Amino acid sequence: MAKKQVREDIKVEIDNLDRLKKEMDQLLVKMSDKPNFIEVRAAAIILHDFYSGIEKIFERIAIYLDKNIPKGEEWHRELLWQMATSGQEGREAVIPDELFQRLKEYLRFRHLFRHIYGFELKWERFKSLCIPMGDLLEELKRNLKKFLK
């Protein structure tokens, strides 16, 4: 039962991530080299939602399969680490180290986004996460598909 529920939950979240990727693509097409504050904030919100969706997938795996979700101040970092390492009952790592390293950058942005004012966001500092979002999503999907087999 738990594995079926994990698969269903992951599918819903993947659909949501696909939608966010499309939103980012549409926004990037409309943006100039010097985006205005509304475009910067929109990109930041999409990026924040994108990592939050990935984290929801990881939470489901931690809850249903590991029966253990990190707690405390560092739980976001610990959850990401948990997905990059083998779990209980022989669970293989969900993501390889390379993807783990890339996702750490998205986690850092999530933390920044939640702790500064929107007008403090600097496009030049986070556009490198927005542009390759689709590639990262495809890599995540490949790893999740492999993991779920």
List the end-to-end C-alpha distance of the chain, in Å, as a whole number.
15
Q: Tell me the C-alpha distance between 12 and 141, whole Å.
A: 13
Q: Tell me the C-alpha distance between 84 and 21, whole Å.
A: 23
8 pLDDT above the threshold of 80: yes
The CATH number linked to 143 is 1.20.120
Q: Average pLDDT, stretch 86-106? A: 92
Q: What is the largest CA-CA distance in the chain?
A: 50
Q: pLDDT band at residue 33, thresholds of 50, 70 and 90? A: confident
Letter string b/e over residues 25-46, b meaning 16 or more CB atoms within 10 A of that residue's CB: eebbeebeeebeeebbebbbeb
Extract the tokens encoding 36.
């205005």
Per-residue confidence (pLDDT) for residue 1, from 0 to 100 = 53
Q: Average pLDDT, stretch 93-114? A: 97
pLDDT in tens, 9-28: 999 999 999 999 999 999 99
Per-residue confidence (pLDDT) for residue 113, from 0 to 100 = 97
Per-residue confidence (pLDDT) for residue 77, from 0 to 100 = 97
Supply the Cα-derived Rg of the chain in whole angstroms. Answer: 16
Extract the tokens encoding 22.
């499309």
Q: Tell me the C-alpha distance between 59 and 82, whole Å.
A: 10
The count of domains in the chain is 1
